[in-house]
């Protein structure tokens, strides 16, 4: 039997029935640690409602021990660690709108790290990593759609690949048509990641959109605004990360159109993150950056949430490629 499991006295012999009877065994517990422990001993603190294990020098709480990272945090190029450490992925050439992203849904970890690097010589990349999407599963409201998105909950399901379905608007003024998420009260965040798909109903339709945040529903801060998209009738996707440090209650996607046609949009994801990292990638081939979050605390109401990473090319229309590692996690 493992250390930390005690046995009641059953005489000089132990029958099979007694061995299998839960009443014959109990867990070592109390409000203070036992004297003279040995390495590997288990003990349950009834005053803290936690399991502890003795590591040979001190008692350590179980379930919150952070694992070690399986790589050197100072690496800055793909060749400095080799494929056998993480296993890598190559993301084929994409433009400045179809941003690369990592999608991890329904988990909660004490730390997340992912390494991304430039395949070619293109410059002006930035990487974003968000851990613990606080807006997952929160209330979604819509207004001003001629044809409303049908599955609005998909905007907050934590999955960047699911969609609300396409909504259509004929509004020509900002904020007359929107989809927004309400946390319920103001909450501190450190970054935003969103993903939306937009198109015009005709080749002559110009479409505009913004993603904004607010603490009170009255004063809004713009996180991202497109310059006006014109001349395309097939969906064009934006996957955007942005640093934002402050308290917000709402995240809003608002869309409007120009003089003709209709604006059409699918919302894949609107997320505000408990912790966030943003790093500029070094210029040049085979150069990269480590995105890393290891928060000292994790919001206790969250049992599971989503983690996402996004790479953006901030300017220009040059087609580009990136490598990225598998995300590495330490369990919470």
Residue 40 and residue 120 in one domain: no
**How many angstroms separate the Cα of 278 from the Cα of each of 86, 130, 163, 192, 249?**
21, 9, 26, 11, 22
Residue 87 and residue 219 in one domain: yes
**Can you give the chain as a three-state secondary structure string?**
CCCCEEECCCCCCCCHHHHHCHHHEEECEECCCCCCCCCCCEEEECCCCEEEEECCCCEEECCCCCCCCCCCCCCCCHHHCCHHHHCEEEEEEECCCCCEEEEEEEECEEEEEEEEEECCCCCCEEEEEEEEECCCCCEEEEECCCECCCCHHHHHCCCCCCCCCCEEECCCCCCCCEEEEEEEEEEEEEEEEEEEEEEECCCCCEEEEEEEEECCCCCEEEEEECCCEECCCCCEEEEEEEEEEEEEEEEEEEEEECCCCCEEEEEEEEEEEEEEEEEECCCCCCCEEEEEECCCCCCCCCCCEEEEEEEEECCCCCCEEEEEECCEEEEC
Residue 158 and residue 261 in one domain: yes
Residue 262 and residue 316 in one domain: yes
Question: Quick one: pLDDT at residue 43?
Answer: 85
Domain count along the chain: 2
Q: What domain range is 130 assigned to?
A: 66-332
pLDDT higher for 189 or 296?
A: 189
Residue 113: pLDDT band with limits 50, 70, 90: low
Q: Report the C-alpha gap between 8 and 23 in whole angstroms.
A: 8
Residue 125: pLDDT band with limits 50, 70, 90: confident
CATH number at residue 256: 2.60.120.260
Question: Quick one: pLDDT at residue 71?
Answer: 38
Residue 51 and residue 95 in one domain: no
Residue 252 and residue 233 in one domain: yes
The mean pLDDT of 205-230, rounded to a whole number, is 92
Query: Is the pLDDT assigned to residue 64 strictly greater than 90?
Result: no
Residue 117: pLDDT band with limits 50, 70, 90: low
**Which of 17, 37, 61 is the C-terminal boundary of a domain?**
61
Query: Is the pLDDT assigned to residue 318 strictly greater than 60?
Result: no
The mean pLDDT of 133-140, rounded to a whole number, is 93
Residue 80 and residue 27 in one domain: no
The mean pLDDT of 306-327, rounded to a whole number, is 62
Contact (Cβ atoms closer than 8 angstroms) between residue 260 and residue 205: yes
Residue 52 and residue 70 in one domain: no
Instruction: Among 277-281, 313-317, 319-323, name the most confident range.
Output: 277-281
Residue 175 and residue 315 in one domain: yes
Residue 287 and residue 176 in one domain: yes
Residue 52 and residue 91 in one domain: no
**Which of 61, 82, 106 is the C-terminal boundary of a domain?**
61
Contact (Cβ atoms closer than 8 angstroms) between residue 268 and residue 163: yes
> 92 CB contacts (<8 Å, ≥6 apart)?
321
Residue 9 and residue 117 in one domain: no
Q: Which of 48-52, 86-90, 298-302, 325-329 has the lowest mean pLDDT?
A: 86-90
């Amino acid at each position: 039997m493992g250390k930390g499991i005690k046995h009641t006295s059953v005489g000089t012999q132990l029958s099979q029935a007694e061995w299998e009877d839960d009443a014959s065994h109990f867990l070592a517990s109390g409000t203070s640690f036992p004297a003279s422990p040995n390495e590997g001993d288990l003990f349950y603190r009834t005053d803290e409602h936690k399991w502890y294990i003795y590591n040979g020098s001190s008692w350590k709480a179980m379930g919150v021990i952070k694992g070690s990272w399986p790589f050197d945090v100072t690496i800055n190029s793909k060749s400095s660690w080799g494929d056998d450490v993480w296993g890598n992925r190559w993301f084929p050439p994409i433009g400045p709108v179809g941003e690369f992203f990592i999608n991890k849904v329904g988990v909660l970890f004490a730390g997340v790290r992912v390494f991304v690097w430039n395949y070619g010589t293109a410059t002006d990349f930035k990487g974003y990593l968000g851990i613990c999407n606080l807006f997952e599963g929160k209330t979604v409201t819509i207004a001003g759609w001629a044809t409303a998105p049908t599955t609005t909950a998909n905007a907050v399901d934590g999955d960047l690949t699911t969609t609300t379905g396409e909504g259509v608007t004929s509004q020509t003024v900002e904020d007359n048509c929107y989809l927004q998420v309400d946390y319920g009260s103001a909450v501190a965040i450190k970054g935003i990641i969103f993903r939306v798909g937009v198109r015009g109903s005709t080749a002559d339709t110009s479409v505009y959109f913004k993603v904004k945040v607010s603490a009170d529903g009255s004063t809004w801060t713009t996180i991202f605004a497109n310059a006006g998209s014109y001349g395309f009738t097939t969906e064009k996707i934006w996957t955007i990360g942005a640093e934002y440090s402050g308290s917000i209650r709402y995240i809003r996607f608002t869309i409007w159109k120009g003089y003709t046609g209709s604006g059409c949009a699918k919302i894949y994801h609107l997320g505000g993150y408990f912790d966030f990292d943003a790093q500029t990638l070094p210029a040049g081939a085979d150069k990269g950056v480590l995105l890393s979050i290891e928060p000292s605390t994790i919001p206790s109401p969250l049992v599971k949430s989503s983690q996402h990473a996004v790479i953006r090319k901030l300017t220009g229309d040059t087609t580009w490629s990136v490598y990225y590692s598998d995300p590495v996690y330490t369990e919470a």
